[in-house]
Amino acid sequence: MGISPEIHRYIIAAAFVAVGILHFIKPQLFVRIVPDFVPYHLAMVYISGIAEILGGIGILLTQTRSLAAWGLILLLLAVFPANINMTVMSVKETGFTSLYSIVTILRLPLQFVLIYWVYWACLR
């Protein structure tokens, strides 16, 4: 018997709330990876941080779980260009074979694993 979807929701919620809070504590970490074509980098970091916090809390409540889960899935898709930008910047700055570049490259498909995880734990 595996871990229940409820436990998964708590793990997902904790992760999103923690990273959402980090958007306010260390916004420069996120501003740095926002692609140039996105306007108002700092505002977008704060908006995405709020969305992560609200989504994380929302998936814990039965009444808001579905809406919050779809919101998190859309957010994960919306920030994917920032993940790509982070990878491109890393490769340019540290080379293709640096540990940081390898981690950022491996992070790209992980985004789709996160999307499926939210779907599996909250919507199925």
Dump pLDDT digits (tens) for 107-121: 999 999 999 999 999
Q: Count of domains in the chain?
A: 1
Other Cβ atoms less than 10 A from the Cβ of 94: the count is 14
Q: What is the pLDDT of residue 96?
A: 87
**pLDDT for 36 beyond 70:** yes
What's the rounded Cα separation, in Å, for the pair 59 and 123? 10
Residues whose CB falls within 8 Å of the CB of residue 2, separated by 6 or more in sequence, listed in order: none
Instruction: Assess contact for 86 and 104: CB atoms under 8 A.
Output: yes
- Quick one: which H or E segment has residue 46? helix 41-58
Global pTM reads 0.92
Q: How far is CA 93 from CA 74, 79, 100, 101, in A?
A: 30, 21, 10, 9
Q: Which domain holds residue 27?
A: 5-122
